[in-house]
């Protein structure tokens, strides 16, 4: 498995609609029902929190905001010890909508569980397709979100909002 992950999907919607959804602060239904918290300015912190704000799943810093084609930020899963990596969202118009590509780079050589991260990006892009084309994720994903919400109390303490510091500005 290479250390750079790339996932892509075509979505039947205008590029601006996809851009606005992916970069909208607040509830990100497609991203595991997390809340995107950031000013979306280069250098600003970015957080993906659970809906009640008590758990931070992802922390990073904004790198690039170039509407409607490129959104990049550093990325660290708060339940893992990996150093920050880089996620780049690339959007390009197609004859029937938009192609959304997520490129996740900067993994240390031999990082464990990259296959799981790669599969998760595939599911997230499928969720974006569902949300943008139908208005919601599928029933199986909605059930998964409910279960995840019920067991949020059992997540490691290092994921709790008060335990998660912003990523350093030079990350």
- What domains appear along the chain, each with residue ranges and CATH number? 5-163 (3.30.530.20)
**Residue 14 and residue 98 in contact, taking contact as beta carbons nearer than 8 Å:** yes
Q: Tell me what pLDDT residue 138 has.
A: 95
0.85 exceeded by pTM: yes
pLDDT over 70 (residue 46): yes
Give every CB contact of residue 20 below 8 A, 6+ residues apart in sequence: none
Q: Tell me what pLDDT residue 42 has.
A: 97
Q: Which of 109, 47, 52, 105 is nearest to 77 (CA)?
A: 47
Banded model confidence at residue 6, pLDDT cuts 50, 70, 90: very high
Give every CB contact of residue 33 below 8 A, 6+ residues apart in sequence: 27, 50, 51, 145, 148, 149
Beta bridge pairs of residue 46: 38, 60
**Residue 156 and residue 55 in contact, taking contact as beta carbons nearer than 8 Å:** no
Banded model confidence at residue 2, pLDDT cuts 50, 70, 90: low
Banded model confidence at residue 71, pLDDT cuts 50, 70, 90: very high
- Report the length, in residues, of the chain: 171
Q: Report how far apart, in Å, the C-alpha atoms of 63 and of each of 16, 71, 74 are.
A: 20, 8, 7
pLDDT (average), residues 55-68: 96
The residue that leads in pLDDT, 111 or 22, is 22
pLDDT (average), residues 130-141: 96
**Which pair of structure tokens corresponds to residue 163?**
């335990």
Which residue reads 């899963």 in tokens? 77
Banded model confidence at residue 166, pLDDT cuts 50, 70, 90: confident
Q: What is the pLDDT of residues 78-91, one digit of tens each?
A: 988 888 999 999 99
Beta-strand ranges (E) seen in 56-96 are 56-66, 70-77, 85-94
Banded model confidence at residue 1, pLDDT cuts 50, 70, 90: very low
**Residue 103 and residue 90 in contact, taking contact as beta carbons nearer than 8 Å:** yes
Q: Tell me what pLDDT residue 143 has.
A: 94
Q: Tell me what pLDDT residue 80 has.
A: 83
Q: Tell me what pLDDT residue 139 has.
A: 94
């Amino acid at each position: 498995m290479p250390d750079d992950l790339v996932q892509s999907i075509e979505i039947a919607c205008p590029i601006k609609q996809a851009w606005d959804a992916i970069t909208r602060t607040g509830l990100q239904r497609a991203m595991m029902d997390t809340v995107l918290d950031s000013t979306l300015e280069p250098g600003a912190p970015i957080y993906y929190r659970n809906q009640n704000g008590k758990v931070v799943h992802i922390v990073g810093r904004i790198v690039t905001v170039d509407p409607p084609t490129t959104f990049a930020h550093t990325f660290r899963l708060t339940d893992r010890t990996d150093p920050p990596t880089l996620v780049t969202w690339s959007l390009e118009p197609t004859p029937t909508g938009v192609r959304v590509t997520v490129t996740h780079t900067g993994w240390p050589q031999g990082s464990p569980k990259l296959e799981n991260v790669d599969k998760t990006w595939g599911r997230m892009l499928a969720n974006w397709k569902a949300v943008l084309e139908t208005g919601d994720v599928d029933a199986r994903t909605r059930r998964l979100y409910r279960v995840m919400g019920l067991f949020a109390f059992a997540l490691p303490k290092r994921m709790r909002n008060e335990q998660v510091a912003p990523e350093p500005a030079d990350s």
